[in-house]
Amino acid sequence: MGLKSDLEEDVKRIYSSVWTRRKGQKVPEDTDLKAGNDAVDLQATILYTDLDESTKLVDNYNDEFAAENYKTFLQCATKIIRSEGGHIRSFDGDRVMGVFIGGSKNTSAVRCGLKINYAVKQIIQPKMNAQYNTKYVMKHVTGIDSTNVMVAKAGIRNSNDLVWIGKAANHAAKLSAMSSSHPTWISDKVYDGMSDDVKYSKGINMWEERKWTAQNNRRIYRSTYWWSIS
């Protein structure tokens, strides 16, 4: 059988197979899903955090320095996500995705985003400046959204990954591409569902409301605040 016939059979099978779907009680692992049209439905809050201007970093600095900045950013981000009860489910170069579930998922994800901002500003940058005489300033953006998501497995045997289908996954990724002038961007669903301790600082709202013109003027919020890490 040639490659074309093989691909045609694969596509036909995917389109014609009936889906098996079930409500998830936990964030699925790769082994929890079958290769066919098998899916888990989750109420989840998705966080994407992305190292901003990484192209300028690799274009203007040596590869070891760039690699160290990738590594420090992802090291801090992943540990913070896990410390807030999030699950790491995807890496994409200089970006990582975290999944939060449960009753406090919005609050945990937002606190996580604010802590990542603290780590970049108060841990990574000072350590970098102490090690190197450099003009480089690390910038990043975290995007967070919350909806129902459908989780399925895609790819071929030994080369597959989970795919996350739903507004939260897509919009969180797009929010992480917003301006790094405000390192944390969240959706209306997240803002309306999070607790006041991540909404206000000494009585002042930490979040500025904006209209997301690319998404039918959806209400979103941005912040420059951070949450201190002890």
pLDDT in tens, 123-132: 999 999 999 9
Give pLDDT, residue 88: 94
The percentage of residues in the chain with a pLDDT greater than 90, rounded to a whole number, is: 89
Contact 114, 83 (CB under 8 A): no
Contact 139, 182 (CB under 8 A): no
CA–CA distance, 222 with 114 (Å, rounded to integer):
11
Rounded (10°) CA dihedral 88, 92, 94, 96: -20
pLDDT band at 217 (very low <50, low <70, confident <90, very high): very high
Q: For the residues 192-200, what does the mean pLDDT come to?
A: 98
pLDDT band at 155 (very low <50, low <70, confident <90, very high): confident
Type of residue numbered 137: V
CA–CA distance, 87 with 142 (Å, rounded to integer):
16
CA–CA distance, 171 with 207 (Å, rounded to integer):
18
Contact 49, 140 (CB under 8 A): yes
Of the candidates 193, 195, 173, 200, the one whose C-alpha atom is nearest the C-alpha of residue 185 is: 173
Residue 158 has pLDDT above 80, yes or no: no
Give pLDDT, residue 68: 97
pLDDT band at 80 (very low <50, low <70, confident <90, very high): very high
Residue given tokens 């790769």 in the structure block: 30
Type of residue numbered 214: A
Contact 187, 147 (CB under 8 A): no
**Assigned fold of 19-27+37-223:** Alpha-Beta Plaits (3.30.70)
Q: For the residues 52-66, what does the mean pLDDT come to?
A: 93
Q: For the residues 22-48, what does the mean pLDDT come to?
A: 93
pLDDT band at 1 (very low <50, low <70, confident <90, very high): low
3-class DSSP assignment, residue 208: strand
